[in-house]
Structure 1
């Protein structure tokens, strides 16, 4: 994968402490190409791979003051975490699409008019969900489309159950404010 260079690590850790901008440039120049190649081999999509790599370096920059042992180790762990999150996100999207497909098939059996109506509502819900803050949207998807309990969500995200409840309430209030039929669909059919 990436060649580990102990002397580079030691020197760059010292530079990171005194001149973070220079250290970041050195680290990016040394590791970005190999990291991108690795992500691309796992994900298979250049745009997604570039986004993942950007997240890794953004995370590195945000936490640069905490890194005191191994830059290489930090980048590799962050990269693995970002790839895992990508695949988990894709899995959630697939589950959501299956749920939506089943829901739309059931509606279609009733009448074509109801099918179109439900499809429009679900498309509107998707657009509304895109407007929610990232964490709020994530919790809402886990609750409404993955059918996880508030306790399961809290445990998985390492937050309190009350915080989960607040995010769900916030999402429903936002959707209700924007579109009452979408709110009714999410409140009573899920």
Structure 2
């Protein structure tokens, strides 16, 4: 092993690519501390820096037979480390967004009983106004919005023209809008 210790990076790289595991160990010993300091400086986190450097050397071990290293070995390892750091930062950003989204959902769920009460009150108010519609108009409107029937199906079932069905639905919506304002849009979204 001492024989290899004095070898240049290029010689160590060639030896490692030829299958010499001792060459890998020397490269590891030679660059681990340097890459760790670089990663720690970039990440401001010792544990994350250790993980990044470990991933770099693992990737280096696995991919050595697949890659051609043109720049000096040090530049290659620094680039690999920088890319792993960037991957980690991207992952942390996604994780932060996810946690923020999760936190928002938790906050919303805490106010869910209040929202459910308000929605129920609104729904009840809308239902009350629908019941006040003229009977044929109400039937056509409910078949359309609650029964999910097309204008054609309603027309056939009630023996009306398509135009009459369309007019009845339009008139019902106009009446409900005048009574309920924009609240009717919430209803129409769900029905």
TM-score by length of 1: 0.51
In structure 2, the CA distance between the partners of 1:107 and 1:16, relative to structure 1 (3 Å rule), is same
Q: How far is the alpha carbon of 1:8 from its aligned partner?
A: 1.7
In the alignment, the residues of structure 1 paired with residue 55 and residue 69 of structure 2 have an alpha-carbon distance, to the nearest angstrom, of 20
Which structure 1 segments of 5+ residues have no match?
1-6, 115-190
Deviation by residue 1:27-74 (Cα, 9 ceiling, x = unmatched): 111111010011011111111111111000000000111244342232
Answer whether contact 2:40 2:46 (CA < 8 A) is retained.
yes
Which structure has the greater CA radius of gyration? 2
Q: How far is the alpha carbon of 1:10 from its aligned partner?
A: 2.1
Answer whether contact 1:53 1:79 (CA < 8 A) is retained.
yes
Aligned to 2:112: 110
Q: How many residues align?
A: 107
Aligned to 1:42: 42
In structure 2, the CA distance between the partners of 1:58 and 1:22, relative to structure 1 (3 Å rule), is same
Determine which of 83, 86, 91 is the counterpart of 1:84: 86
In structure 2, the CA distance between the partners of 1:89 and 1:68, relative to structure 1 (3 Å rule), is closer
Q: CA RMSD in A?
A: 2.0
Which structure 2 segments of 5+ residues have no match?
1-6, 117-191
Aligned to 1:25: 25
Answer whether contact 2:52 2:85 (CA < 8 A) is retained.
yes
Answer whether contact 1:67 1:74 (CA < 8 A) is retained.
no
